[in-house]
Amino acid sequence: MKVTFETDASMERSLAKIVTNPAEQQRWDEIDKAISHLERQLVVINPKNNRNVQIQPSSILAIESEDRMCNVRVISGESYLLGKRLKYVEEDVDSSQFLKINNSTMINVKHIQAFAATDHARIQVELKDGSSYYVSRYYIKNFRGKLL
Amino acid sequence: MIANLKHSFFQVFTITLLWVTLLITLFFKDQTIQMGYLWNLAGIAFIAAVVFGVMYDALWNYFTLKPIWNIVISSTINILGGTAGVWLFSEEMFHFIAPWFPGMWLLSIVLHTIAFYFYARMDSRKKAEELNKILK
- Mean of pLDDT values over A123-130: 93
What pTM does this model have?
A: 0.75
Backbone φ, ψ for residue A133 (5° rounding): -135, 150
Distance from CA of B6 to the nearest CA of A (A): 15
d(CA B41, CA B47): 10
d(CA A4, CA A28): 16
Backbone φ, ψ for residue B86 (5° rounding): -65, -45
Mutate to test the interface with A, among B7, B8, B64 (most CBs of A within 10 A): B64
Burial environment of residue A111 by CB neighbours within 10 A (0 to 12, 13 to 18, 19 or more): buried
Asked if B135 lies within 8 A of A138 by C-beta distance, the reply is no
Residue A136: which of B61, B116, B132 has the nearest Cβ?
B61
Say if residues A109 and A146 touch (Cβ distance below 8 Å): yes
Distance from CA of B68 to the nearest CA of A (A): 9
- Sign of the Cα torsion A43, A46, A51, A56 reads negative
Asked if A147 lies within 8 A of B63 by C-beta distance, the reply is no
Burial environment of residue A84 by CB neighbours within 10 A (0 to 12, 13 to 18, 19 or more): middle
Residue A148 has pLDDT above 70, yes or no: no
| Closest B-chain CA to A87 | B1
User: Which positions 12-41 of A are in contact with B (Cβ < 8 Å)?
Assistant: none
Burial environment of residue A129 by CB neighbours within 10 A (0 to 12, 13 to 18, 19 or more): middle
Say if residues B105 and B75 touch (Cβ distance below 8 Å): yes
Confidence bin at B87 (pLDDT 50/70/90): very high
d(CA A122, CA A39): 34
Residues A2-17 have pLDDT tens digits of: 888 889 888 876 677 8
| Closest A-chain CA to B131 | A115
For residue A72, give Cα distances in angstroms to A13, A48, A55, A99, B58: 25, 14, 10, 14, 26
- Mean of pLDDT values over A98-125: 92
Residues A18-71 have pLDDT tens digits of: 889 898 888 888 888 777 666 678 899 999 999 999 998 889 999 999 988 999
Distance from CA of A117 to the nearest CA of B (A): 5
For residue A75, give Cα distances in angstroms to A79, A99, A101: 9, 16, 18
